[in-house]
């Protein structure tokens, strides 16, 4: 593929440090459907086309293959390390004392890097599920969020910044009640919050909270994750690509509804990290940020499609005695504990 996007045209988002990052990144979770070689080949093509932000995680089980591809893009002179913004995440089974650095070093070694740009705490509790498990899977050691436990994990992340292993740290799958408790205790504030964001699940309160606190919202499942694993599907789920306002805009702009979801995300101000292993898809997913924006009316119509439809409910992380997945998300405004 020789097609390349003009980097100067890609809008930027600003971190609280003043550093700018691209307004769209590439997701790398194969959803138990796409293997590590397929995903990493897409990372190669995507960087060649012009992606500079790549969202990785240890639990996606493909960092070693992505690392090989990163070495390839460096050795072929396609990009230099400093032009990329690479994220990774500590998985739930590595929150314990000393484990966060071990996990970070493993991701660094797999990715063939000597620093990460941003390192997330993937979920705010140590509840573990085996990769590829089904929705009814429960781990007997699972427990509710504990501020003390979380802060012990966060302190280890802060240490990683101080040791120069990571440049920024972030949190994922957070709620406002948890952030209200955590933020005053941080020595280093999160630079970004990775959260589920798509037209049918806009999380307006959490989105505004992040902005008010100068924390960049990074939106996962920006297309509504049509290929997500079975364990993350339920009969009430809404398909974002079928929403009337998304379909109307797709018809007006002559693009796939997925591309409309991304245009909306970029114009709203979050950083979407769409996943795709298909070249025409990942090309249009970045290209959409530089041309043919949605009108104010289209933006407003899509804002009106919010159905509070959370797709990644996290039910596999529930503990003994929890009522339902809602317990993970502090829906009545306070942290749910036992
Ligand atoms: N922090 C967290 O807890 C968390 C949780 C979930 C995800 N994430 C991150 O967010 C990333 C994105 O989320 P996701 O992968 O679940 O969902 P997504 O990006 O919303 O959906 C990806 C799927 O959408 C389809 N698609 C992509 N571009 C398209 C286009 N231009 N036209 C038509 N269809 C298109 C593809 O389906 P087909 O393959 O069927 O064509 C692709 O597999 C992940 O890869 C991961 O990096 C983070």
pLDDT digits (tens, 9 = 90+) for 211-270: 999 999 999 999 999 999 888 899 999 999 999 999 999 999 999 999 999 999 999 999
For 33-88, how does the pLDDT look when each residue is reduced to its tens digit (9 = 90+)?
A: 999 999 999 999 999 999 999 999 999 999 999 999 999 999 999 999 999 999 99
Is residue 284 lining ligand 1, measured as CB closer than 6 Å? yes
Question: Does the CB atom of residue 228 touch ligand 1 within 6 A?
Answer: yes
List CB contacts of 305: < 8 A, sequence separation 6 or more: 199, 200, 243, 244, 245, 246
Mutate to test the pocket of ligand 1, among 24, 25, 26, 27 (most ligand atoms within 8 A of CB): 27
CA 283 to centroid of ligand 1, rounded, Å: 14
> Which of 148-159 are b and which e, b meaning 16 or more Cβ less than 10 Å from the residue's Cβ?
ebbbebbebbbb
pLDDT > 80? residue 186: yes
* Ligand 1 proximity of 281 Cβ (cutoff 6 Å): yes
The model scores a pTM over 0.75: yes
| Domains along the chain with CATH numbers | 7-233+268-277+311-329 (3.20.20.100)
CB 312 near ligand 1, within 6 Å = yes
First to last CA, the chain: 54
Which residue, judged by its Cα, is nearest atom 21 of ligand 1?
225
Is the CA virtual torsion 28, 32, 37, 38 positive or negative?
A: negative
Q: Are strands 271-272 and 116-121 parallel, antiparallel or unpaired?
A: unpaired
Instruction: Give residue 30 CA to ligand 1 midpoint distance, Å.
Output: 8
In the prediction, which pLDDT does 1 show? 65
Name the residue of 45, 53, 226 to mutate for ligand 1: max ligand atoms within 8 A of Cβ.
Answer: 226
pLDDT at 252: 98
Helix or strand (DSSP H, E) at 203: none
Ligand 1, atom 7, lies closest to the CA of: 220
């Amino acid at each position: 593929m020789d097609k390349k996007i003009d980097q100067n045209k890609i809008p930027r988002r600003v971190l609280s440090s003043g550093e700018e990052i691209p307004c769209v990144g590439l997701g790398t979770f194969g959803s138990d459907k796409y293997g590590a070689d397929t995903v990493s080949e897409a990372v190669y093509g995507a960087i060649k086309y012009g992606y500079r932000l790549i969202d990785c995680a240890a639990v996606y089980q493909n960092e070693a293959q992505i690392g090989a591809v990163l070495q390839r893009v460096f050795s072929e002179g396609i990009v230099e390390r400093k032009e990329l913004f690479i994220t990774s995440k500590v998985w739930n089974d590595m929150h314990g004392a000393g484990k966060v650095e071990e996990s970070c070093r493993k991701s660094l070694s797999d990715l063939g890097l000597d620093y990460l740009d941003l390192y997330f705490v993937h979920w705010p509790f140590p509840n573990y599920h085996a990769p590829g498990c089904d929705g009814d899977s429960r781990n007997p050691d699972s427990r509710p969020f504990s501020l003390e436990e979380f802060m012990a994990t966060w302190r280890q992340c802060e240490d990683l910044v101080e040791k120069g292993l990571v440049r920024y740290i972030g949190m994922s799958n957070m709620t406002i009640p948890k952030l209200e408790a955590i933020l005053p205790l941080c020595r280093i504030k999160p630079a970004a919050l990775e959260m589920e964001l798509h037209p049918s699940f806009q999380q307006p309160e959490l989105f505004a909270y992040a902005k008010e606190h100068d924390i960049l919202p990074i939106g996962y499942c920006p297309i509504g994750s049509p290929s997500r694993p079975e364990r993350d599907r339920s009969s009430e789920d809404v398909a974002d690509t079928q929403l009337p306002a998304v379909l109307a805009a797709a018809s007006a702009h002559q693009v796939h509804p997925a591309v409309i979801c991304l245009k909306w995300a970029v114009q709203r101000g979050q950083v979407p990290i769409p996943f795709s292993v298909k070249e025409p898809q990942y090309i249009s997913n970045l290209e959409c940020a530089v041309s043919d924006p949605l009108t104010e009316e289209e933006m407003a119509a899509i804002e009106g499609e919010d159905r509070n439809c959370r797709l990644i409910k996290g039910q596999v992380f529930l503990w003994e005695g929890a009522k339902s997945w809602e317990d993970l998300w502090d829906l009545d405004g306070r942290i749910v504990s036992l």
